[in-house]
A and B are shown apart, each in its own frame.
Chain A
């Protein structure tokens, strides 16, 4: 698929070409090894006993019978995990989430664990652990949790001096909302609700842990951040960071859900207690119940605009259900809400609320999709009231370079206007629509992050290059990083082999999240390569016997320049590498950085749906993603991120939700009733990559992985509205909700 290069200044030799990824053959043959694919001699099976209650006090745990089961080598409760967190609230929350202490806080909360020689012995032992619970009142709904008299999830959590389930309040924006509303010719007020969803990665959490009596340990684990996991596990278990070697397996999907530990500290603790390797693999039911879904929300939006479409005031308050521990989800959402627009008066309030549900973890552009649903749905309704084309309406208020963003910074060159123009001009907009079919569009934003990164680039004796990075490859980044190294060094792509190093081979690397993998490791790779080039220039100078400043590097070789030495034949990387032993030793480049300036990303989507008015069932007919990638290093994988993110957004918009009963227990903890899109549910997803280079990156790269999960909720809602004339304010827009909206509309 061709992409737009209008804005790109640089000329690249290999970056931007569609090369074969290095891990491809392993993955299509089944050779690639994921979290559950490692085994160790003498390993034990670890299983977790989980609370059947949404909220209860643990009165007594009796593990005596379980310990006597043949084959059981260790039984674990919170008594085996002393609190070493030293007042760090975040670590303490993780500790409690890994193993309940005095109370269970959600259906599925871990209360005990067993390591045994096989699954059946472990299961037998779990059944024999006797736990006496005293049930406590629970609350699972975000609005219920804020009502007076609601059961308290954390009685020590206070708001305004009083115990509350409200755990955070964040405000962003500028200007004067009240004044702006007075200036408006029309004001729309709407409320919306979105249900809880899960990242839905196909690979459950899995790890293999060993801990020796000397306090050294190894952890093989599926993770988005093996360095972060090392820090967390070491902290919880009182181990020295350097003595815990964490190796990341191939990862079978994460989307944010594998940035956090769930079973890993327990596996290490079991391994330490039994002095045997312990393998733990979560079942699908456990993944839904006891890993980290995203928040459910409820929100209120108020937008005022002039007749000509200028927004004069924009307000949103969104309440996020964090699970039993406070998080910053409200803050993240608040920052993104109005980011696409240039507004004189805007305000976004993000509120965090505690509920008896699992501990929330990041899910691809966390917190942004929900606020965007409220914002983009209301903007669409405003445009309709004012009889202005929805794309045109957005263009009239669009943020540009120099705009003061709703969350503070002034924008550099950004892509929101180009994506809207591209949507306006896209052939999708001219596709014919039939009865009960409708078209919707929506925009979205995500910041992307930089973070701590280091890379090692080593030139081998034959001139082929090893690049070791610390960011887990979640979707093909190894290819992009090899492309970047090859580009810098001026050698063919297939001469570079990129590996993800374990924690003992590199300095700290932050997690692969926030769309930072290619951006940060790419930046570190560029500078590591440039360092290696300096070394090679110096070696060439030695080999020629000329001063270093007479050497330059071009197209994979050292060239002598200047009148005196200019006619020396060039020395290729291969030739220099072959002489490395004689010229000073192994040739390498290295770079540690806190990568900064990751460049914000914007996307605009177009969606056509058909709604069956007798059943409320929605079919997605066409879908187009336009997103600014800054610079697409490997276009195939950039397209893949656009399509995958959009697919998750579509599932979220139409069918995915956590269903809780009155008893506070999760009713659909499996792929049968947690309905992610299947192949026949989706059309081909058209993509258009725009490139408005990020001036803070040598290649202009922006993060690409997350932004396109942000627009689909509203794109679909807007399309449904145009298809059958009803506005859905509750996500997912499942068939019963759509049918009810149609009935209410007909009855009205």
Chain B
């Protein structure tokens, strides 16, 4: 295996495109190095992106935020502006692993690893996040929900790398939240993850996005769930409809972390709780 540490995105892309063998992109390494250690991958080239300045920045832009691919969970959590604007996205990312993992893990790594149970991804999807994908010839902007195509698989072509995640500007009277179910209090992979982002107008939910994790081969954007709460003040019936829509959208497997029935059930329970938190953050009153 060879190790390279490029200083620009262009350099990284060139290395990635030129490599005839198996090339992997290393950000925090909290998934990749585990797979390396367990002999699940046999890289010819490891490209470390952490020394690329553009990938290490959190920038407030006119249209929202731009978060570089190498920004760690810890750095994310330390950004007051991001915590204020997108608490759901930050809390989701900050749920990944321990403080040690937080010192290294990244949202983009979490996304590209494409585990169905990734914590940061449902929150990014609910927030309407986009990935800035850079290839040899061009850049393209891809909605995060279109990046993951299956367990461990992304829509990135050979030679493409995600340089940053963009988040829109946070509208007034809006809030987002992420909840996950794990059997312990920390250190577990999500059995179910639910993210809700919503905006209120005159006290009523005007727009919403609901995303589920760990209940299907990929994280889901559930339009029916959003529809269930739009136009409501999150009364009991709306919450029940939300829960039902989420449970219905689930397509989980039985595995050592949870059964189908359990996941379907808890998805509904967490959806209600996450929606309540997001509503409260948006200043909503019941």
A and B touch in the complex (CB under 8 A): yes
Q: Which residues of B contact A736 (CB under 8 A)?
A: 258-259, 262
A739-B184 contact in complex given A659-B256, A673-B256, A673-B257, C-beta closer than 8 Å: no
* Bound Cα distance A335, B140 (Å): 71
Distance A44 CA – B213 CA, assembled complex (angstroms): 46
B189/A672 in contact, CB under 8 A: yes
Choose among A655, A659, A677, A735 the residue with the greatest number of B CB atoms under 10 Å from its CB. A735
Chain B residues numbered 25-64 whose CB sits less than 8 Å from any CB in chain A: 38-39
Q: Does A190 contact B (CB under 8 A)?
A: no
Q: In this complex, what residue of B is CB-closest to A671?
A: B187
Q: Which residue of A lies closest to B270 (CB)?
A: A615
Judge if B171 is at the interface, Cβ distance under 8 Å.
Answer: no
Most chain A Cβ neighbours within 10 Å, of B186, B256, B269: B256
In the complex, the chain B residue whose C-beta lies closest to that of A657 is B256
B237 within 8 A of A: no
Compute how far the CA of A739 lies from the CA of B256 in the bound complex, rounded to whole angstroms. 16
B60, chain A: closest CB distance, angstroms: 33
Give the residues in chain B near A655, CB-CB below 8 Å: 183-184
**In the complex, A451→B161 CA distance in Å?**
64
Q: Which of A95-143 contact B (CB under 8 A)?
A: 123
Chain B residues positioned under 8 Å from A403 (CB to CB): none
- Give every chain A residue within 8 A of B257 (Cβ-Cβ): 673
Let me know if B188 is at the binding interface, CB within 8 A. Answer: yes
Interface string of B164-195 (1 = CB under 8 A from A): 00000000000000000101111111000000
A735 touches B256 (CB 8 A): no
Q: Are A681 and B185 in contact (CB under 8 A)?
A: yes
A678 close to chain B: CB less than 8 A: yes
* Contact A614–B189 (Cβ < 8 Å): no
Judging by beta carbons under 8 Å apart, are A678 and B185 in contact? Answer: yes
Max chain B C-beta neighbours (<10 A), residue from A614, A619, A654: A614
User: A86 near B: Cβ within 8 Å?
Assistant: no
Is A668 close to B, CB under 8 A?
yes
Let me know if B188 and A675 touch, CB within 8 A.
yes
Given A659-B256, A736-B259, also A675-B265 (CB < 8 A): no
**Most chain A Cβ neighbours within 10 Å, of B39, B188, B259, B262:** B262
Rounded to whole angstroms, the CA-CA distance of A362 and B286 in the bound complex is 57
Look across to chain A and name the residue whose beta carbon is closest to the beta carbon of B273. A614
Q: Is B228's beta carbon under 8 Å from chain A?
A: no
Chain A residue contacts of B269, Cβ below 8 A: 614-615
> Measured between alpha carbons, how far is A739 from B262 in the docked complex, in Å?
8
Cα-based distance from A651 to B199 in the complex (angstroms)? 42
CB distance from A658 to the nearest CB of B (A): 10
A734 within 8 A of B: yes
Q: How many Å from the CB of B262 to the closest CB on chain A?
A: 4
Kindly identify, within residues 605 to 647 of chain A, every residue whose CB is under 8 Å from any CB belonging to chain B: 614-615, 617, 619
> With the chains together, A668 CA to B269 CA distance in Å?
27
Q: Which residues of B contact A659 (CB under 8 A)?
A: 256
Within 696-748 of A, Cβ neighbours of B (below 8 Å) are at 734-736, 739
Shortest distance from the beta carbon of A682 to any chain B beta carbon, whole Å: 9
Give the residue name and chain of the B residue nearest to A658 (CB).
Answer: B256
Cα–Cα, bound, A598→B226 (Å)? 67
Asked, given contacts A659-B256, A673-B257, A734-B183, whether A739 binds B265 with beta carbons under 8 Å apart, the answer is yes
CA distance A673 to B183 in the complex (A): 10
Q: Name B174-228 residues within 8 Å CB distance of A.
A: 181, 183-189
Question: Which residue of chain B has its CB nearest to the CB of A618?
Answer: B183
* Residue in contact with B187 in the complex, picked from A123, A614, A672, A739, CB distance below 8 Å: A672
Is B277 at the interface (CB under 8 A from chain A)?
no
In the complex the two chains form, is B184's CB within 8 Å of A615's CB? no
B67 at the interface (CB under 8 A from A): no
Enumerate B252-268 residues with CB–CB distance to A below 8 Å: 255-259, 262, 265-266
Closest chain A CB from B82 CB (angstroms): 24
Q: Please give me the residue from chain A that is nearest to B181 by CB atom.
A: A615
Considering residues A615, A619, A659, A739, which has the most beta carbons from chain B within 10 angstroms of its beta carbon? A615
**Chain B binding site: helix, strand, loop or mixed by DSSP?**
loop
Determine whether the beta carbon of A617 is less than 8 Å from that of B181: yes
Alpha-carbon distance A673/B187, docked complex (angstroms): 9
Measured between beta carbons, the chain A residues less than 8 angstroms from B188 are: 672, 675
Digit string of B233-277 for contact with A (CB within 8 Å is 1, else 0)?
Answer: 000000000000000000000011111001001100100000000
Chain B residue at smallest Cβ distance from A672: B189
Whether a CB of chain B sits under 8 angstroms from the CB of A567 is no
Report A-chain residues with C-beta under 8 Å of the C-beta of B186. 678, 680-681
Asked if A678 and B187 sit within 8 Å, CB to CB, the answer is yes
Chain A residue contacts of B38, Cβ below 8 A: 285
* Pair B184/A678 contact, Cβ less than 8 Å: yes
Contact: B256 with A667, CB < 8 Å? yes
Provide the residues of chain B in CB contact with A654, threshold 8 Å: 183
| A123 and B187 alpha carbons, distance in the complex (Å) | 30
Contact: B266 with A615, CB < 8 Å? Answer: yes
B185 cross-chain contacts in A, Cβ below 8 A: 619, 678, 680-681
Q: Give complex CA distance A138, B187 in Å.
A: 33
- In whole angstroms, what is the CA distance A659 to B188 when docked? 16
A667 CB contacts on chain B under 8 angstroms: 255-256
How far, in whole Å, are A304 and B183 apart by their CA atoms in the complex? 36
Shortest CB-to-CB span from A52 to chain B, Å, is 13
CA–CA, A617 and B38, complex, Å: 31
**What residue of chain A has the Cβ atom nearest to residue B262's Cβ?**
A736
* Shortest Cβ distance from residue A287 to the other chain B in the assembled complex, whole angstroms: 14
Q: Complex Cα distance A130/B17, Å?
A: 36
A549 to chain B, nearest CB (A): 66
CA distance A680 to B188 in the complex (A): 12
Do residues B189 and A668 form an inter-chain contact, with CB atoms below 8 A?
no
Is the CB–CB distance between A617 and B256 below 8 Å? Answer: no
Q: How far is the CA of A736 from the CA of B255 in the complex (A)?
A: 12
CB distance from B259 to the nearest CB of A (A): 6
Chain A residues with Cβ below 8 Å from B262 are: 735-736, 739
A675 vs B186: C-alpha distance in the bound complex, in angstroms? 10
Instruction: Say whether A735 contacts B183, CB under 8 Å.
Output: yes
How far, in angstroms, from A158 to B259 measured CA to CA in the complex?
Answer: 38
What distance in Å separates the Cβ of B104 from its nearest Cβ neighbour in chain A?
Answer: 16
Chain B contacts for A619, CB-based, 8 A: 185
Contacts of A739 in B (CB 8 A): 262, 265
B187 pairs with A677, CB closer than 8 A: no
Bound Cα distance from A677 to B183, whole angstroms: 10
Chain B residues within an 8 Å CB radius of A677: 184
A667 to B38, CA, bound (A): 14
Contacts of B256 in A (CB 8 A): 659, 667-668, 673
A315 to B256, CA, bound (A): 34
B243 to chain A, nearest CB (A): 10
Among A617, A667, A675, A736, find the residue whose CB has the most chain B CB atoms closer than 10 A: A736
Residues in B whose Cβ lies below 8 Å from that of A675: 183-184, 187-188
Give the nearest-CB partner of A680 in chain B: B185
Are A681 and B189 interface neighbours, CB within 8 A?
A: no
CB-based nearest B residue for A661: B256
B269 → A minimal CB distance (Å) = 5
A-B pairs with beta carbons under 8 Å apart, 24 shown: A614-B269, A615-B266, A617-B183, A654-B183, A655-B184, A667-B255, A667-B256, A672-B188, A672-B189, A673-B257, A675-B183, A675-B184, A675-B187, A675-B188, A678-B184, A680-B184, A681-B185, A681-B186, A734-B183, A735-B181, A735-B183, A736-B262, A739-B262, A739-B265
Ranked nearest first, the 7 interchain pairs of A and B with the lowest CB-CB distance are A680-B185, A736-B262, A659-B256, A614-B269, A667-B256, A681-B185, A668-B256
- A interface, CB within 8 angstroms of B: 123, 285, 614-615, 617, 619, 654-655, 659, 667-668, 672-673, 675, 677-678, 680-681, 734-736, 739
7 more CB-based (< 8 A) A-B contacts, given A654-B183, A668-B256, A680-B186: A123-B39, A667-B256, A673-B189, A678-B184, A678-B187, A680-B185, A735-B262
> Which B residues have a C-beta under 8 Å from some C-beta of A?
38-39, 181, 183-189, 255-259, 262, 265-266, 269
